[in-house]
Each structure stands twice: as structure tokens, then as C-alpha cells.
Amino acid sequence: MEAVSSPFESSEMLVTFLASTPFLEESWNVCRDANFFAPRSFRAERRGEVGYLAFSGVQVIDGCEPSCGTLMALGECGREHLFSPLRCDGDGEGTVKVDAGFLHLFLEFHQRPDFQSQIEEFLARVKVIILTGHSFGATTASLTALWLLSRLQPVASPISVLCLTFGTPLLGNESLCRAILRERWGGSFCNVVSKHDIVPKLFFAPLTSLTPQLHSLLQFWQVAMASPSPEQLVGELQKQNFDEFFSNVKKCVKDAAQSEGGAKNSLYWPLGSYLFCSEEGAICLDNATSVVKMMHLMLEKVSPASSFEDHLECFQDHLKYSYYTTRLSLQFRKRINISGLSESSYEAGVSLALQSSGIDPQDDNISKPARDCLQMARHMGLAPNLNNAYLAIKLSQITPCRAQLEWYKARCDESADQLGYYDTFKKFTASKREYTVNMTLFRLAAFWDGVIGMAEQNKLSHDFHRRSKWNNASHFYRLLAEPLEIARYYRHGMHKEKGHYIKHGRDRRFQILDRWWNRKVAVAAQEPEQNNNKRSRSRHASLTQDSLFWAKVEEAKDWLEIAKEERDPNKLEPLLDNMYCFEKYAEKLIDRMEVSVDVLAKNSSYRSWDKDWKAFKLKLPQPPSAPVPDRMDCD
């Protein structure tokens, strides 16, 4: 019988952790001070080795500037390098989008000298940085956390980053949520949401359909944040008709809860874990679809035709996080009467979770779909460590496939035609041997696609891709298999239809494995003792250490053919620059013996290009006047 991970395991661990530390209450205290003392700015405090940076919820008062409520591609902001790991790895993932107004607000903070100096101070003096914020300020905290995680990732910093938000609006689309999970950052985000808070649900609806009520609400909330007595605005709120306002929001949240497939990517979507608080306690969900369904069910309790006092209570729930954070730990000290519950521990857990969320278990209209929602959030399947172990067994089972490719490479390198590994497969004769190689490539690709899929679905341990065993195995697979995939691409002339391999033909699998390896290299670069022990090679590498080397050769061949026919000096110059650059790069690899013997085979594509290039250079009127930049080292 398969071992199944416990229901609510990761959620309960997160709630227990937060309830047992001062992080939650202190984060809210700094948020409250930022709202009151630093409107439209931030407040920083350091408590020992923990640094708190809180962004005020008093930001865009109308909330209806043209860009607010509009999703835009992260790559369109002109500063996408700030979030470089969140780029899409393939056409199938969709475009990562965030709210244009909130992104603009973050970029304004990012340009401020006081913001940058505060970040640098924390990086130098603390071990944990907690980014926090209330209301619209919470989105700036989330974007700051994404920026910091992107910045710290390549250097393997020992500093931990945690984002704790209160009443946050939604920030981006489903592709953003998936990109964060892919980077293993989901556990760095926890959003505290009170049961009736309407703000986390607002961005499911078009903001233009919510004015002027929204304008009055934002004024009410933001005056209340900065002042202990907002009563003068209650009368203004009472003049508004909120029946249509609630109807629009409820309809849009319901539509989002029922959406499927690609429709989610055009909507705002939750990221990270959501800690839903009520007077009875709290529950935590980290499944985005379950979070949306729970938002819908909690809003179902509020009727559009309710009295103004009921509406006001919902609006004030956005301001009650001090109350909820102080009561949170009661969930773990309070004894709840579970008499009459099923003997099943899972059923008991569901009923207790419903009580903690403030949902009446006797109300079948809401409790039944809420139970289904919690069932969806349950983590099914093997625990991550067991998945790691089973994958290790599968890795050993595909070792013969890797050995077959190594044998094929040895045969090619020793062949009398002196073509080498790459060019032999590129020419491809319809033989049993080549058929076997194709099937081997297919099996290896299927295995590594499965590994990547499990990692992205959080079915493996969080540090799986950093473990030497898997990093080295994936790197060896990439160096061994990708040259053959490049050969297949150019053999079929796909570069003529799509463009060259590096930009237009590279499989997402190789891009991800490449990124795993580059992170390991970046970590090693931070350890001087490893660099000091590095020795120069005394023999050629068994595999060329750049898996894209042959794709670069193919591009260089294309440049040379075009250059031979080009008569316009302005068009010829960049082609020559590219070829001088590649020549220098290839010579560096050869000098370091970081290429396999097939690169230097007498009749290899590289040798043929090098011979033609040297002959072509003799016909040039003069060599370049300045040294060619070594641009290909990082390609």
C-alpha cells in the first residue's frame, strides 16, 4: 500500500510555525505603524537578526489610475531583469503577468535611495528579511520579495526571505503563480486574509464596474489606516448603494472559482499560501484553485441585499488584522468539541478546519462545497522524500540508455570517416543502430521530462535540483543528448522554417536543466577553496562542456555563407564580428581542453568551418581594428 502524505500537512506546518513565532504579530505591528506614521512610504525595524520592512497600505488613494486593475506582461516593463528567474521557459507556460499599477508602484520604490540603502543594510546585518504590508502596500511587499529572491538566488545567500501580507489584493496571473512554484518559492509567501475582507477578491472583477463605491471604500480604508477615528466617512459610505457592488464581485469570484484550463491565465490568481482567519481560528491553504474556491464560499455568506450595517462589518474586516493575529495562536490551545464526528482522522480534520474558518458545518449549502474544496487542497500521493527515492531507482534503471549513447559516441569518434559524434548522427543513415539511438533519446527525454514535471508540482523535496546526484546526472544527460538533438534539428532543415536552434528550437527540458547547473556553478564560485583546488585539464573532456557548441557552429556556418555573398560593408561588418567572436570562444574551449575529441575530428563541421573561415579571412582587406569582445562565454 502506498504511503500517502497527511492531509493539510504543509498548511498545518506553516500555521504552527507562524503561531509559535513572533513573526506574525510583529509583522502586523510594523504594518500598523507604516499605515499611521509613513503613508505612501515604508517603515523598517530590526529585531535581533530579523529585519522587518513594511509598506504602508496608504498608497494609491483612488486605486483607479488607468494601469491599476490591468494585467501586463512582466517583460514589457523594461526592468524584467529584476525578476529574471520568472521568465517563461517555453511557449506552453503562458506569459507571466502582473498588475501594471502595482508594478509601477514597486518600481518607484526600487528607484528610491532610502529603499536601496535599507535593503543593503538588512542584507549586511540580518539573517531573515520579512517583507510585509497591508492592503495595497502588500503588493509592493510581494514584488519586493520576488525581486530579492531573484537577486539572492544566483549567489546562494544564507539570508532567508519571507513575505507576510495582510488583506492583499491579487497581484498577477496563473503563470506568475506557476513560475513561483517552479522556482520553489511558494513557501516564502503567506497571505493573511480575514474571512469577510473584500479586498483580496476585488481584482477578480473589472475595477471600472465597481466605481464610485470603490472610490469611497478606498478613502474610508486609507483614512482609517492613518487615523483612529474615521467615523466621519461612515456617513458617506451609507449614501452608496452596495447591492450592485457585492453582486458584481460575487459573480466574478464565482466565475473564477469555476474557471478551468487556459481561462485562468487571463485572470488574477493567488500566489503562495493563504491563511484564512475568523473568530474561530484559522486554516491555511496552499493550493491556488482551493484558495479561489474558498474565497467564493466565504463571500457567499454575505448577501448583496444585506443591511448597510452588514456591509460595513465586511468593510471593517479589512482593518481588523490586529485582532486576528493576536487570536491566531488560540486555534492550537483551544479544545474543540469533536464528539459526534466520524472516527476517520481525515473527516475529523475537515470538520475542525471548517469550524476554524467560521463555516457552519450544519449549513449544507456552504459546508458541502467547502469540504470538497478542502479535499482538493489535500496533498495526495507519496511524500517528497519517498518520491526522491523512487526516482533514484528509476534513474538506475535508465543507466543502460545512457551507456548506449556513450557506446555510440565512442564508435563515432573511432570511425574511419573521422566525422565524429555530432556529424555522424547529423548525416544519419537508416540503420538499426541509428534507430536504437533515436529510441534511447526518446526514453531519456521522457524520464527527465517526468522529473521536471514532478519538481514543478512540488512532488519532490525543495532542494532536489540542488543535490549533487541529480544535478550531475542531469548535466551529463544534457551534454550527451543535446548535441544529437541539435543534429536532428539541422538534419531536417528546421532552422530554415523556425530559425536557429538556440533561440527557436531548444527544448524547454534543456533550458531548465541548464539553469539547474548554472546555479550550482554560481554557488561553487562563491567558495574559494573549491576554486583553489581546480586543476587544468591534461586531456580532452569526454563530452564538450558547452551543450550548445554545435548549434553555435551551425550559426557560424550560416554567417560565413552569407558573408561570402555580401557586398555591403555595413552588413558585412556584424557578420565578421560574430565570426571573430565565435572563433575566439572556440579556441578558448580547445585551449582549456573543454571539448571532446569529436570537435577536432578531421572532417567535423567545426574543422570544416575553421578551414573555410581562415581562407575567407585571407581575402579580407584588413583585420578588425579593435579586439573582439568575448561575448560567447555566457551564451
Active site residues: 135, 197, 318
Spatial distance between the Cα atoms of 31 and 233, rounded to a whole number of angstroms: 22
How far is CA 532 from each of CA 157, 320, 525, 528, rounded to the nearest angstrom? 21, 57, 11, 6
What kind and span of H or E run contains 461?
none
Query: Under 8 Å CB-to-CB from 490, ≥6 apart: which residues?
Result: 426, 501, 554
Q: Cα 386 to chain center, whole Å?
A: 24
CB 202 within 8 Å of CB 168: no
Per-residue burial over 477-487, b if 16 or more Cβ lie within 10 Å, else e, is bbbbbbbbbbb
Rg (CA), the chain: 29
Q: Which three cell numbers stand for residue 159?
A: 539570508
41 by Cβ neighbours in 10 Å (0-12 / 13-18 / 19+) ranks as middle
Tell me phi and psi for residue 538, to 5 degrees.
Answer: -110, -5
User: 516-540 burial, b if ≥16 CB within 10 A, otherwise e?
Assistant: bbebbeeeeeeeeeeeeeeeeeeeb
Beta carbons within 10 angstroms of residue 188's beta carbon: 21
Of 31, 27, 65, nearest to 218 by C-alpha is: 65
- C-alpha span between 49 and 66 (Å, rounded): 41
> How far is residue 105's CA from residue 86's CA, in Å, rounded to a whole number?
19
- Count CA atoms within 13 Å of residue 168 on its CB side: 36
Output the CA angle 513-519-520, nearest 5 degrees: 95
Which amino acid is residue 486, in one-letter code? I
The DSSP code sequence of 8-71 is THHHHHHHHHHHTSSHHHHHHHHHHHHHHH-TTSEEEEEETTEEEEEE-S---SS--STTTT-E
The beta-strand segments (E) located in 238-343 are 273-278, 281-285
Burial class (CB in 10 A: 0-12, 13-18, 19+), 157: middle
Residue whose C-alpha cell is 531573484: 150
CA torsion sign, 21 to 23 to 24 to 28?
A: positive
Do you know the residue count of the chain?
A: 635
Q: Is the peptide bond before 212 cis (omega within 30 degrees of 0)?
A: yes
Rounded to whole angstroms, the Cα distance separating 166 from 321 reads 7
Give the three cell numbers for residue 582: 565565435
